[in-house]
Amino acid sequence: MKIVVFTGSPKAEASNTFQYFRYIQRQLPNHHYSIIHVGVEIGKIEADKDYLNKIIGEVKKADAVLWVYPITYFLVPAGLKRFIELLLPNKAADAFANKYATAITTSMHLFDHTSHAYIHGISEDLGMRYVPGYSAQFNDIIEEEQRRQLLLFGQEFMTTAGRKLPVERVYGPVAAKVPAYRQAETRMVGKTGPFKVLFLTDETPNDKNLGYMTDVFLRHFPNRVEFININDIRLAPCKNCLHCTYDGVCVIDDDMNFLYRERILPADAIIYAATIHDRYLSARWKLFFDRFFLNGHRPVLTGKQGGFIISGPLRQVPNLRQLLACFTETFGLSSRGIVTDEYKEADHVTGLLQALSGRIMEGLEHGVHRPPSFLGVGGKKILRDINFFTRFIFTENHRYYAKHSLFDFPHNQRMMRLMGRIIVPLMNIEGFRKKFQAGMNEKMLAPLRKAAEE
């Protein structure tokens, strides 16, 4: 079979993820692999339409497509995201239609599921028959059993594609249209609030709805806002070099270090405004989030209020809603809500924007912070473990986690350990166990009941 391999890492063949593909290539040599390093070539692909068409032509001649990339910020790296954006309006779907596709990724398993859901949905948008992908931990390949599993995966994919076996379609198409939003001019509210509020957007002249929504929000919001359009600042792609993990400073000489330290960290609230492109936001936003990696795994947005103004069919992309929750919950941002323009009635959108503004102010005044769900709790535990064991790489993270007592492993709780040591052997005695269990629920409830009465 002829297989087109799209790699997404900015490190191309020197990347972790490429080694997983390399293993499959060596083990299954009876196929022709045509490799395109999208992560490093995206500039050329963007600038040279003939080159893009040549790539699309390669796919037309192929039997299958393999996406090979590291998971970055719960999705694909910015370069690959941009490539996908170039494919969709270029009628690439004709070339991709009915090809088999799958993905091989490496990561720390932190929200790898949202990334796989994304590439799955995109593959189906391109008309491909998608076989669920392989999500490896970055160093799995060192283990013999993991290599065996990888090979089994590769063989199964080749068999499915070679025999043209049927596969399930999982995601419905996204109908891109949302009603036009135009609100009669709303009253300008005095900007008397004392807070530092940052408004980040990637609005372009094409994003009419987003422009009007932003305008209504800013008019209504009773606090001064620092407004930054991330299209107007110098922002180069992340190189995945990991140098920032030592001291939290990015080696790239552009505006990100300043934006992070002087605008994001001091802010009391951050509002993100964006338009949906395919099943995510724009590639520019993805680039911004990839560069946010200089923050490492530190929940540096804790205590800040946040909000999202999104133009586009968010209801049809629940994966994106979840991804935003992964972001806010992991980094500690207190999300006061997401407003979209998916309503026919402009007044309703305006009301939602005004309500969001009110909630953000309430949050600022009272320090509102809801408990995280599984996403935040689970995400933080994964990060805690990584940071504990990788002090020599993620040095800045380790410092931060130690300082903020975030290494909160259960085995650090001496009292619980002691109780475990005493009570576990006693529980093996039937008489003790029966007595203990009879009063157990009441004992657990008693302090809660007392708290509720206070």
Ligand X SMILES: Cc1cc2nc3c(=O)[nH]c(=O)nc-3n(C[C@H](O)[C@H](O)[C@H](O)COP(=O)(O)O)c2cc1C
Interacting residues with ligand X (CB under 6 A): 9, 11, 15-17, 70-74, 106-112, 138, 238, 240, 290, 293
Closest distance to ligand X from the beta carbon of 199 (Å):
24
Nearer to ligand X, 52 or 238 (CB): 238
CB 96 within 8 Å of CB 102: no
Closest distance to ligand X from the beta carbon of 268 (Å):
26
Residue 306, phi then psi, degrees to nearest 5: -145, 160
* Distance (Å, whole) CA 5 – CA 17: 12
Q: Which residues of 377-393 are buried (b: 16+ CB within 10 A; e: fewer)?
A: ebbbeebbebbbeeeee
Query: Which residues touch 167 (CB under 8 Å, ≥6 apart)?
Result: 100, 129, 130, 131, 160
Q: Which residues of 417-446 are buried (b: 16+ CB within 10 A; e: fewer)?
A: eeeeeeeeeeeeeeeeeeeeeeeeeeeeee
CB 261 within 8 Å of CB 316: no
Closest listed residue to residue 383, CA positions, set 302, 301, 299: 299
**Which tokens sit at 381?**
């535990």
Closest distance to ligand X from the beta carbon of 73 (Å):
5
Residue 408 to residues 113, 332, 370, Cα–Cα distance (Å):
25, 16, 20
Closest distance to ligand X from the beta carbon of 197 (Å):
26
Nearer to ligand X, 7 or 282 (CB): 7
* Distance (Å, whole) CA 251 – CA 243: 7
Closest distance to ligand X from the beta carbon of 79 (Å):
11
* Distance (Å, whole) CA 248 – CA 294: 5
Closest distance to ligand X from the beta carbon of 131 (Å):
21
Nearer to ligand X, 52 or 256 (CB): 256
Nearer to ligand X, 11 or 31 (CB): 11
Nearer to ligand X, 218 or 326 (CB): 326
Closest listed residue to residue 357, CA positions, set 221, 199, 185, 211: 221
Closest distance to ligand X from the beta carbon of 18 (Å):
6
CB 79 within 8 Å of CB 8: yes
Nearer to ligand X, 111 or 171 (CB): 111
One-letter amino acid of 433? R
Nearer to ligand X, 71 or 310 (CB): 71
Query: Which residues touch 345 (CB under 8 Å, ≥6 apart)?
Result: none
Nearer to ligand X, 208 or 239 (CB): 239
Nearer to ligand X, 283 or 353 (CB): 283
Nearer to ligand X, 106 or 340 (CB): 106
**How many other β-carbons are positioned within 10 Å of the β-carbon of residue 270?**
22
Closest distance to ligand X from the beta carbon of 137 (Å):
8
Nearer to ligand X, 79 or 193 (CB): 79
H or E element in which residue 275 lies: strand 269-275
Closest distance to ligand X from the beta carbon of 136 (Å):
8
Q: Is the dihedral of CA 295, 299, 304, 307 positive or negative?
A: positive
| DSSP SS3 for 27 | helix
* Distance (Å, whole) CA 214 – CA 199: 9
Closest distance to ligand X from the beta carbon of 249 (Å):
15
Closest distance to ligand X from the beta carbon of 347 (Å):
38
